[in-house]
Amino acid sequence: MRVFGRRPAFSGGIRLPAHQRREAEATIRQLPFAPRLLLPLRQHAGAASTAVVRAGDEVFRGQLLARADNDSAVPLHAPATGHVLRITEQPDALAGTVQVIELAALAGDTQEYTGGESHDPDRCSADELLAAIHEAGIVGLGGEAGSTHRRLVHARERAVRVLVINGIEGEPGFSRVPAMLARHGADVLAGLRCLRKVLGVERAVLAVETPDGAAARNLLEAAPGGTLPALRVLPPRYPQGAAGLLVRTLAGGAVDGHPAFAADEAVVFSLATVAEVGRMLSGGLAMTDQVITLAGEGLREPGNYRVPLGTPVGFALEQAGMRPEPDRVLAGGPMRGQALAALDRPIVKGATGFVAVAAGETADVPASMPCIRCGECVAACPLELHPAELGFLARRDEWQAMVEDFHLDRCFECGCCAYVCPSHIPLVQMFRTAKAQWRRAQARPAVEAAT
């Protein structure tokens, strides 16, 4: 409810406590190669790719390890020069099992990566650029980790008119946005030119939150010329970086004389994705590493690191000075990150960061109390669902009503409801359970019909 001004695009969300920015956050450090890299053939949301190497093969950095046989798959390249130790079947949360290439990286300074042919967006055709993006094996780096090639193809099919660059930090304490703006400004501009050409889109909008506003403005002002994106600096609010919410926010208002646009006329790419597209295409590189944030009080040197794909999480955290006995380690940030049971799993394409939470860093969550019906969760839900009612239904195992009457399937588990709940009710956890139960209930009749 706003008394003055335009109704906001979405009324929920939360103001997270202001995050203290440090100088180091605009830097990116290079992580050394782990002696062994683990490369699952399904790294992202999509189909698995097919191995083209065998155990014992010598490979060089950037060499193709697995090809994409499917629209949603992406090629996988060797993140380091070395040899293939073995290829094993490992359990996988989504597909049952997945093949994993185990690579022994060559020790020493022989990890040179010269790259291949450069793709200049001004000289290559849109289709050549699109093919190059596919061959580089790029996936979205904003957290969703789908094939960037596929996303571009779909965007071309629905004739989008506006390219949105999502420069909104997805998680508190993460700092990839300032790092990308400060260290990869030229790559961002190159990536932007490239995506524009592929999509045949004139209009672009770069959206950042207030703390990154100055850096974004500097980048655009220092740009050598050409059509620059309109800049939108938004007051911080979580989770406005969720692509759908961001488009809603941007679509409504005219920016710098640019007219408003409809939400379905826009396509969103994260700032990190745009930067990597620019970097890889101009260097002729494949996606063999990526920038992630390593955060938390459990690290002596938190910050942004460029990590080779396949690096075990534990190795990366040790390199960032992990203190002994962390309380928990999160894959992702503090709002949506999943606590890891073990640190031997590899960092895969599209990972955004990890948090090592030190013992005592966060207060222990008190036991949950009954709902007092305060409605804070209802006000906080960015999708305007009804978390309180969903909570009551979850207590009674009414999965069907949760999905069909209260749209549980729309929930993307941003965590706002649990964050504001004064009774410390684990709403997100309850919703995850409910979704799993609902899926199981949906699958059962199909199984019964088949047998």
By CB under 8 A, the residues from 286 to 315 that bind another protein are 312, 314-315
State which amino acid sits at residue 53: V
Answer for which of 128, 297, 398, 413 binds another protein (CB under 8 A) is 413
* Beta bridge partner(s), residue 289: 308
Cα separation, 155 vs 197, in Å, equals 13
Q: Does residue 432 bind another protein (CB under 8 A)?
A: yes
Task: Between 211 and 314, name the residue whose CB sits nearer to another protein.
Answer: 314
Residues 6+ apart with CB under 8 A from 420: 14, 376, 377, 379, 380
Q: How far is the CB of 423 from another protein (least distance, A)?
A: 6
State which amino acid sits at residue 312: P
Q: Does residue 326 bind another protein (CB under 8 A)?
A: yes
Residues 241-270 that bind another protein (CB under 8 A): 242-245, 248, 263-264
Q: Does residue 157 bind another protein (CB under 8 A)?
A: no
Residue reference for tokens 């590899």: 346
Q: Which region, judged by CB under 8 A, interacts with another protein, from 47-55, 77-85, 130-138, 319-327?
A: 319-327
CA-based max dimension of the chain: 68
Task: Between 93 and 342, name the residue whose CB sits nearer to another protein.
Answer: 342
Answer for which of 130, 160, 329, 434 binds another protein (CB under 8 A) is 329
Answer for which of 18, 372, 436, 441 binds another protein (CB under 8 A) is 372
Rounded to 5 degrees, φ, ψ at 302 are -70, 160
Q: Does residue 188 bind another protein (CB under 8 A)?
A: no
Other C-beta atoms lying within 10 Å of the C-beta of residue 42: 22
* Beta bridge partner(s), residue 339: 330
Q: How far is the CB of 449 from another protein (least distance, A)?
A: 28
Residues 6+ apart with CB under 8 A from 129: 119, 121, 194, 197, 198, 281
Residues 118-147 that bind another protein (CB under 8 A): 144
Q: Does residue 325 bind another protein (CB under 8 A)?
A: yes
Q: Does residue 26 bind another protein (CB under 8 A)?
A: no
Q: Does residue 373 bind another protein (CB under 8 A)?
A: yes
Q: Does residue 114 bind another protein (CB under 8 A)?
A: no
Residues 340-369 that bind another protein (CB under 8 A): 340-344, 355, 357, 362-363, 365-366, 369
Which long-range contacts link 384-393 to residues 24+ away (Cβ below 8 Å)? Answer: 384/10, 384/11, 384/12, 385/410, 385/411, 387/417, 387/427, 387/431, 390/427, 390/430, 390/431, 390/434, 391/425, 391/427, 391/430, 393/434
Answer for which of 32, 200, 253, 375 binds another protein (CB under 8 A) is 375
